[in-house]
Amino acid sequence: MLELIPPVEIMNPLLDFTGLPRFGEIRPEHVASAIEQLLAECRSLISRLLQDKELPTWDNFVVPMEDAHERLSRAWGPVGHLNAVMNSSELREAYNATLPVITQYYAELGQNLALYEKFKALRNGPEFGTLNAARKKIIENELRDFRLGGAELADDSKARYLEIQERQSELSSRFSDNLLDATNDFTLLVENRHELSGLPEDVLEAAHEAAVEKSKAGWLFTLKAPSYMPVMQFADNRNLREKMYRAYATRASEFGKPEWDNSALMDEIVELRGEEARLLGFASYGELSLAAKMAETPGQVVEFVRELARRSRPFAEKDLAELRDFSGIELGLNELHSWDFAYASEKLREQRYAFSEQEVKEYFPEDAVLSGLFKLVGTLYGLKIEEAKAPVWHESVRFFDIREADGKLVGQFYLDLYARNSKRGGAWMDDVITRRRLESGIQTPVAYMNCNFSAPVGGKPALFTHDEVITLFHEFGHGLHHLLTEVEDLGVSGINGVEWDAVELPSQFMENYCWEWEVLSGMTRHVSTSKPLPRALFDKMLAAKNFQSGLHSLRQIEFALFDMLMHSAFKPGGGKTILQLLDEVRAEVAVLIPPEYNRFPHSFSHIFAGGYGAGYYSYKWAEVLSADAYSLFEEHGVLNPAVGAKFRSEILAVGGSRDAMQSFVAFRGREPAIDALLRHNGLIEHA
């Protein structure tokens, strides 16, 4: 007779590190128990390592810590990811309850003087000279991070530093939650079809489906990008545009529900960052932020941004004058308001270049775009991308393998393309698993790639605007940076250890291919006729590529200057508010001033909740790097596999194992120059 074996208790899925996250099984109640167990294991390990009297070596000291901390990040990573893409009140509660515990652990770790001394002993010991460049870089980065983490502070200062870290993480999480809730809260139902003239059919179809889902008759609009942006760009109804604009521009501010107002949070975040910097001996948070970046001082960044502003402003003034003239003569808009800008710009573009963005969108169904993107990666880097199976968090999410030409697995990624209420706005890449060498062999890297595009409606495939295609290529560039690394040590593998102001290089580099006929012609198919994008329409798109580039450039410069000045030359409560600082920046660099009620900072997640505090200039700095890197392809052929192989080996493969400037010089043969960026953006006067 067979003996019945009692069933083994089902393991907490967050504690299973044998493969990909088990998304279908993760529940809010799993979070606290998994993290508590892993933190206890980490603390026990640190205690044992500190008691060890042997001289620290890579194998007896660094590797055990890497193993333990990787388990912790692989358990916490899916929790943070789900909180961003499948947000619910239960998950949010579990995430926010556990976040302070995680924050406290890492802050304590960074302040551990005994651990710092161990790393110093390793750095000064006999083994250091025999280590490879990646491992040396990891140790040097650790020593820097201990200094920046407060390891050398007095005990009372350490206690305050810990409090600051915990409070900052809590405030940033609340900032994101408030913005998501305020965005989701607004809906606008339009019952009269005549009020929606100008809106494309697919947008109307999506709005009608949204109304039906809410058991309402008519068309329902939201502040999610796929709903909001087309209204601003195409709706003839000026009152509708103004209503939507006002709702969007005042999200998470004093104009909405008090519990979602980010005003006080922003002040406190900036104040705490300043206090943290002063504790560590820096004059400002801007200085502290740059300690681990390519740029050296806040002054250098401000000078760089202001120089870009100086070069861009004449073009922006010309753009705005043209738009005002056109709006007055052709549209009867004698005064151009913020809610008219996208609409008037689209009409001017249509008149000048004889095409509309909606017309272009018809040529970019999702399957054709993905096929073209994957073909490009194959051409440049000799890789194959194939759909595969994995547990996912939503039925629309897809999963892919990246393989070498010989079939060897290089990496894997999830693709989550569509907007939904449970998902935060924007587009981003994040790591799931990072490449490293284990006793069993090489660990395959895995990435998340997330966007907020319109889902398919009415049985048709999802259609992307050309801007959305650019966004997809951008995030894929980040993904390739993570997935194509050849580094075998966790701390500098993929995007780990890469200076923040260089991390946008591979992503912005990929955007260039969205303007190449050789690439674009093979990734289009008209949704009705199945015909590819006509060359004549592409030529019009190319002619319009730098349409209003002066205005667009100044907008990014405004954000970058505001961010750096707020973190280096501003004191909350010092007689000037954050909004007044932004007004001053706009008076200096902007040519288009929004209405007084605009509360842009209240939704500026990048700097208040996304890691870009005193680092938003990175986008412009990395544009310089990416444009200059791409110019080498322009010189030798934009699809040249030899140049692609060099970009892969010198930029993507090395991760953070050496300084970003060294990697750039190794690829380009010299330091970066600003000229290629200005040329790409049409910001150079032609003789």
Taking only the tens place, the pLDDT of each residue in 30-41 is 999 999 999 999
Residues pairing with 188 in the sheet: 221
Question: What's the pLDDT at 680?
Answer: 86
Long-range contacts of 608-613 (CB under 8 A, 24+ apart): 608/172, 608/175, 608/262, 608/265, 608/266, 608/269, 609/172, 609/173, 609/175, 609/176, 609/179, 611/500, 612/500, 612/563, 613/269, 613/273, 613/285, 613/289, 613/563, 613/567
Taking only the tens place, the pLDDT of each residue in 121-143 is 999 999 999 999 999 999 999 99
Distant-in-sequence, close-in-space partners of 256: CB < 8 Å, separation ≥ 6: 182, 185, 250
How many Å apart are CA 668 and CA 163, to the nearest integer?
A: 45
Residues pairing with 180 in the sheet: none
Question: What's the pLDDT at 6?
Answer: 41
Instruction: Kindly report the pTM of this predicted structure.
Output: 0.93
Question: What's the pLDDT at 5?
Answer: 44
Question: What's the pLDDT at 683?
Answer: 82
Which 8-state DSSP code applies to residue 191? -
Catalytic residue among 362, 468, 475, 504: 475
404 is catalytic: no
Reply yes or no on whether the pLDDT at 687 is more than 90: no
Q: Which CATH superfamily is 13-152 part of?
A: Endopeptidase. Chain P; domain 1 (1.20.1050.40)
Taking only the tens place, the pLDDT of each residue in 489-537 is 999 999 999 999 899 999 999 999 999 999 999 999 999 999 999 999 9
- For residue 584, the SS3 value is helix
Contact 332, 344 (CB under 8 A): no
Taking only the tens place, the pLDDT of each residue in 583-603 is 999 999 999 999 999 999 999
Q: Which CATH number fits domain 260-355+549-616: 3.40.640.10, 1.10.1370.10, 3.40.50.300, 3.40.50.700?
A: 1.10.1370.10
CA atoms within 13 A on the CB side of 132: 7
Long-range contacts of 436-440 (CB under 8 A, 24+ apart): 436/66, 436/70, 436/488, 436/489, 436/490, 436/493, 437/488, 437/489
Highest CATH level, class, for 366-534+619-680 = mainly alpha
Reply yes or no on whether the pLDDT at 682 is more than 90: no
How many Å apart are CA 447 and CA 272, to the nearest integer?
A: 32
6 vs 183, higher pLDDT: 183
Question: What's the pLDDT at 175?
Answer: 98
- For residue 39, the SS3 value is helix
Contact 27, 92 (CB under 8 A): no
Contact 143, 197 (CB under 8 A): no
AA identity, residue 305: V
* Confidence label for 574 from pLDDT (cuts 50, 70 and 90): confident
Burial code of 174-186, b = ≥16 C-beta within 10 A, e = fewer?
bbbbbbbbbbbeb
Taking only the tens place, the pLDDT of each residue in 452-488 is 999 999 889 999 999 999 999 999 999 999 999 999 9
What average pLDDT is seen over the chain?
A: 95
Lookup result for tokens 């990395």? 622
Question: What's the pLDDT at 675?
Answer: 85
* Confidence label for 681 from pLDDT (cuts 50, 70 and 90): confident
Distant-in-sequence, close-in-space partners of 42: CB < 8 Å, separation ≥ 6: 68, 69, 72, 105
AA identity, residue 356: S
How many Å apart are CA 469 and CA 427, to the nearest integer?
A: 12
Q: Where are the domains of the chain?
A: 13-152, 186-251, 260-355+549-616, 366-534+619-680
Lookup result for tokens 């969205």? 514
Matching CATH topology for 260-355+549-616 and 366-534+619-680? Answer: yes
Question: What's the pLDDT at 8?
Answer: 37
Question: What's the pLDDT at 10?
Answer: 57
Question: What's the pLDDT at 44?
Answer: 98
Q: What is the 3-state secondary structure (H, E, C) of 365-393?
A: EHHHHHHHHHHHHHHHHCEEEEEECCCCC
Taking only the tens place, the pLDDT of each residue in 1-29 is 444 444 434 589 999 999 999 999 999 99
Reply yes or no on whether the pLDDT at 679 is more than 90: no
